[in-house]
Amino acid sequence: MLSIGQLVDMQWKLGMAVSSDTCRSLNSPYVSVLMRIVEPSGHICQKSFEMTVPQFQNFHKQFKEMAAVMETV
pLDDT in tens, 5-33: 889 999 999 998 777 777 666 778 899 99
Which is higher by pLDDT, 58 or 63? Answer: 58
- Which stretch of 1-10, 35-44, 45-54 has the lowest confidence by average pLDDT? 1-10
pLDDT of residue 1: 58
Q: How far apart are CA 6 and CA 43, in angstroms?
A: 11
Phi–psi pair at 7, nearest 5 degrees: -70, 120
pTM of the model: 0.74
Read off the pLDDT band of 2 (50, 70, 90): low
Fold of 6-72: Nuclear Transport Factor 2; Chain: A, (3.10.450)
The residues spanned by each domain of the chain are 6-72
